[in-house]
A and B are shown apart, each in its own frame.
Chain A
Amino acid sequence: MEQDRWDDQDRRRPPTGRVVAISVAALLVIAACSVLGVWQWQRGHVVVTEPPAQQPITDISEVVDGGASGDLAVLAADEVGRPVEVRGSYDPDLTLLAPGRPLDGALGSWVIGIVVLEDGSGVPVVRGWLPDGAEVPATPTGQVDLEGVVQPPEASDIAPSNQVLPAGQTWVVSAADLVNRVDYPVANAYVTLDTPEAGLQAVPPDDPGQATRRLDWGNLAYAAQWWVFALFAVVIWFRAVRDERIVTGQDDPGEPQENGPANGAGGRDMSGAR
């Protein structure tokens, strides 16, 4: 019935050709937008894995805090392996060696210090690896600004032996051990330095940490936007077909104020959005 009325109105100039052209163009645009949306949707669902080592460097106090009793008291699982910056000064009275540590096939020791932060708490730092028999470099004095990788404290069961060590040595890098040697709180983690002092070699982090997995929300948002554009194309398409059939070519896009419906008898209600 609707169709009949349109046919009646369109007697002067059947707009079939234009309507077909508009429809083809509209369908192409709708298809393109939909496909782009699907493409972004798939891109958004590719799970991105981010090894902790690739995360931006952060201050050690953001990760673990020896003076804290809450969340920052212990290292969270997803923070292990993150690059950190440690600013403070070495405790001049504490230098420990952890013997029995291999590096590149040779046996040596880790040189351990504690950097005291501004808030008075200490961060255990593995300054580097020292070959057996070499002399321990002097502890750097004054303010230091170090970069390294944060590691969880070592458990006592990794000690290669339970033999009692001479003073100034320890089997494991652990706050539980270190708090007995100093009179300030010590973070329950340690940092292994990227670039040790001269005479020491860098100790690669034992635990690279867990890669975090996430969806890419940026791409999912683009997908939604492409589908909105497709929807807009649908709406305009319906609108265009209706206009073409009703107005029969008397529509002038440049001057909308003169857009009276040519044969307004149809009661062209444009106020309702479609």
Chain B
Amino acid sequence: MSGTSDVQGLRSEPKVRAALTRYRVMAWLTGIGLVVLVCIGMPQKYLDLFGGGDTVVGTVGVAHGWLYVVLLITTFDLGNRVRWSWKRMILTALAGTIPFLSFYAEHKNTQAVRSQLARQ
């Protein structure tokens, strides 16, 4: 292994920070959308709670699908910049499909990127 900062090559720290922000925003939006979908939308549609109907599934569900697509893009962008392994990218992407786990993944990823930046 050669010199750390050189090998890690995070030469454009502001860009990494921006990518991290983009990822975090999308992780939170997608995470909240998923929780609303699972905790309100699904019971409304399938258990006839909250007045029944599919208003939440019809709106939040559709939005969540596209938010998740953007989350995938921001995940790959950030992962590329900070040299995540492909496994971490997959785990991060999969975590985005599980309610609440997405928030934990976001927290761990943010910690990891920040310590990586601090170490430079």
Bound form: Cα–Cα A218–B54 in Å: 13
Cβ–Cβ contact A236 & B90, under 8 A: yes
Number of A-B contacts (CB under 8 A): 73
Minimum C-beta distance from B95 to chain A (A): 13
Q: Which residues of A contact B76 (CB under 8 A)?
A: 232, 235-236, 273
Cβ–Cβ contact A251 & B85, under 8 A: yes
Cβ–Cβ contact B85 & A270, under 8 A: no
Q: Any chain A CB within 8 A of the CB of B86? A: yes
Cβ–Cβ contact A261 & B7, under 8 A: yes
Cβ–Cβ contact A271 & B81, under 8 A: yes
Cβ–Cβ contact B4 & A260, under 8 A: yes
Given contacts A257-B112, A264-B2, A264-B7, contact A239 B89 (CB under 8 A): yes
Q: Any chain A CB within 8 A of the CB of B107? A: no
Bound form: Cα–Cα A232–B76 in Å: 9
Cβ–Cβ contact B88 & A256, under 8 A: yes
Q: How big is chain A's contact interface, by range?
A: 20 to 34
Q: Which residues of B contact A262 (CB under 8 A)?
A: 1
Bound form: Cα–Cα A225–B90 in Å: 17
Cβ–Cβ contact B115 & A259, under 8 A: no
Known: A221-B66, A236-B90, A271-B9. 11 other contacts (CB 8 A): A232-B72, A235-B76, A236-B76, A236-B86, A240-B87, A253-B87, A254-B88, A256-B83, A256-B84, A256-B85, A270-B80
Q: Nearest 5 A-B pairs (CB), nearest first? A: A253-B87, A240-B86, A260-B7, A257-B116, A253-B85
